[in-house]
């Protein structure tokens, strides 16, 4: 349902749910006569009161190019906004126009947690809350699938469902990655141990014509652009499993913002230099995107996971581009948080929500699936976020999700310490190399870009891919990112 606030109505205060399970989307009429709001982005954008085609927001596109993500409440569309964790807006009428006043209050800070002697975590309570959050969202008479890996989040969900006796209602599915980071066989073994059916989904390097059509169909209906490296894997899943369309899709993302967002050792070391290197930013903005010098002037906020083009390259291909550095510098200037809290407030709230989770939201919207994020449920988030820090993570060892590690080792014999960090790997470099003609065509024919500058930048990055080292890898990722944005802009129905 799409709700409406009109001029001269009583002041209205809106906020998203505390765990980020259901963001709130808003559309502001260009003449400021009304604001529409709903939890369904496709429903909002399809509403007849929304002027179409939608127009690109230069500020939003500037963030997407340089940071890889648009911080809430902004989006890449003019007049379209999103409220995530901690976001609020007050709608009021001033001088005959609707005014939107946004604010933020991130509550998942470590000072709000209980002390070690005040609370002992109840694993059964967590498992039950996860199951309840899932069952409350399941739509009947649909296939139900859990995206499963060797990781702690999806396995805690699988354990919760197994102990609730849901083996005959939910199928586990996993992605088969290349190399030693593949988790699919381990996922399959865990599924068998817990009594679930299991399916393995495969990568495709060389995209065939029918697969191209599946990708185009995805970008036609994906409401927002997303530069997550795994984005292209999802439309190709439907080629292998058409029954994913219209299904219940359960995903284990959504808890890092409140469970303890622990950095890797390299990131933790580098972010400490941000205060010393910030004075390089005026020079860094003119560096090449694939240059190691480009990353030298990152702020602490950006070290949590922001990547993208330098301002110099971004403004060449998108002349209306703004320099986003002042935004992130202002966050650093105001920041009174330790790095763990800052990482939760930036990576957990912004990057996780608008890159990692957004790719799954886009996929669910594109195939009319019902996405369920049990870890993002308010009841789960409010319980876990108040637990004492000592049960959740270790600052010295940089070790996260201690409670889940112990639970999974005891209940299903999964030793997360021995497995180490695996993650969801996708060979986007091979996609670029093996589908170069198609990728080059889609990028160069995208009307979003400055026609004269894009072919030059694209070929520079492609030549750098043939080299070695950090710059070669970054060049491939930037080309892939341009392809994802270009495909969205070329085919999206809301821009037609």
What would be the CATH architecture of the domain defined by 110-259+343-419? Answer: 3-Layer(aba) Sandwich (3.40)
**DSSP-derived 3-state class of residue 216:** helix
For the chain, which residues make up each domain, given as ranges?
3-104, 110-259+343-419
DSSP H/E element including 317: helix 311-317
Q: What would the pLDDT profile of 284-343 be if each residue is shown by its tens digit?
A: 778 899 998 888 888 999 999 999 999 999 999 999 999 999 999 999 888 889 999 999
Q: How many CB atoms lie within 10 A of CB 464?
A: 22
- Mean pLDDT (whole number) for 471-494: 97
**30/21 Cα distance (integer angstroms):** 29
Q: Output b/e per residue, 209-222; b: 16+ Cβ within 10 A.
A: eebeebbeebbbbb
pLDDT at 206 over 80: yes
**CATH T-level fold of 3-104:** 3.60.20
pLDDT band at 179, cuts 50/70/90? low
The reply to whether the predicted model has a pTM over 0.75 is yes
C-alpha distances in Å from residue 403, one per residue of 131, 251, 339? 18, 20, 21
Residue 117 reports pLDDT greater than 90: no
Q: Compute the mean pLDDT over every residue in the chain, rounded to the nearest whole number.
A: 94
Strands across the sheet with 3-6, in order? 3-6, 34-38, 24-28, 80-83
What was the pLDDT predicted at 271? Answer: 85
pLDDT of residue 273: 78
The confidence score (pLDDT) of residue 253 equals 96
């Amino acid at each position: 349902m799409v709700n409406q606030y009109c001029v001269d109505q009583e002041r209205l205060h809106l906020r998203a749910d505390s765990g980020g399970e259901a963001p709130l989307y808003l559309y502001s009429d260009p003449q400021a006569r009304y604001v529409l709001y709903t939890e369904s982005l496709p429903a909002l954008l399809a509403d007849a009161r929304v002027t179409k085609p939608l127009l690109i927001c230069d500020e939003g596109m500037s963030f997407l190019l340089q940071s890889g993500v648009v911080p809430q409440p902004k989006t890449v569309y003019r007049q379209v906004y999103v409220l995530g964790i901690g976001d609020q807006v007050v709608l009021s009428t001033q001088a005959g126009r609707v005014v939107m006043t946004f604010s933020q209050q991130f509550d998942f800070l470590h000072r709000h947690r209980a002390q070690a002697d005040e609370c002992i975590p109840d694993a059964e309570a967590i498992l039950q809350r996860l199951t309840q959050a899932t069952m409350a969202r399941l739509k009947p008479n649909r296939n139900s699938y859990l995206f499963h890996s060797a990781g702690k989040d999806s396995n805690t969900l699988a354990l919760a469902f197994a102990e609730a006796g849901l083996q005959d209602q939910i199928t586990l599915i996993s992605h088969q990655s290349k190399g030693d980071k593949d988790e699919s066989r381990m996922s399959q073994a865990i599924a068998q141990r817990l009594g679930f059916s299991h399916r393995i989904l495969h990568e495709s390097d060389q995209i065939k014509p029918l697969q191209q059509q599946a990708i185009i169909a995805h970008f036609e209906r994906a409401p927002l652009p997303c530069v997550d490296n795994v984005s292209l894997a999802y439309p190709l899943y439907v080629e292998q499993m058409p029954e994913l369309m219209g299904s219940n899709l359960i995903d284990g993302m959504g808890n890092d913002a409140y469970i303890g967002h622990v950095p890797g050792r390299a990131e933790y070391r580098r972010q400490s230099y941000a205060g010393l290197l910030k004075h390089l930013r005026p020079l860094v903005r003119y560096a090449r995107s694939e240059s190691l010098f480009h990353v030298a002037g990152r702020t602490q906020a950006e070290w949590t996971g922001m990547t993208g083009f330098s301002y110099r390259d971004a403004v060449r291909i998108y002349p209306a581009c703004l320099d986003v550095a002042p935004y992130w510098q202002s966050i650093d200037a105001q920041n009174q948080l330790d790095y763990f809290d800052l990482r939760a407030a930036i990576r957990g709230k912004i990057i996780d929500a608008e890159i990692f989770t957004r790719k799954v939201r886009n996929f669910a919207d594109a195939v009319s699936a019902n996405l369920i994020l049990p870890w993002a449920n308010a009841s789960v988030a409010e319980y876990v976020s108040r637990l004492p820090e000592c049960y959740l993570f270790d600052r010295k060892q940089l070790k996260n999700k201690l409670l889940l590690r112990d639970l999974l080792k005891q209940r299903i014999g999964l030793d997360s310490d021995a497995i180490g960090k695996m993650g969801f790997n996708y060979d986007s470099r091979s996609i670029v190399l093996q589908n170069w003609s198609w990728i080059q065509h889609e990028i160069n024919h995208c009307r979003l870009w400055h026609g004269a500058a894009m072919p030059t930048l694209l070929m520079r990055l492609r030549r750098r891919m043939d080299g070695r080292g950090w710059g070669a890898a970054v060049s491939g990722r930037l080309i892939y990112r341009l392809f994802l944005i270009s495909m969205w802009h070329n085919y999206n129905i809301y821009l037609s």
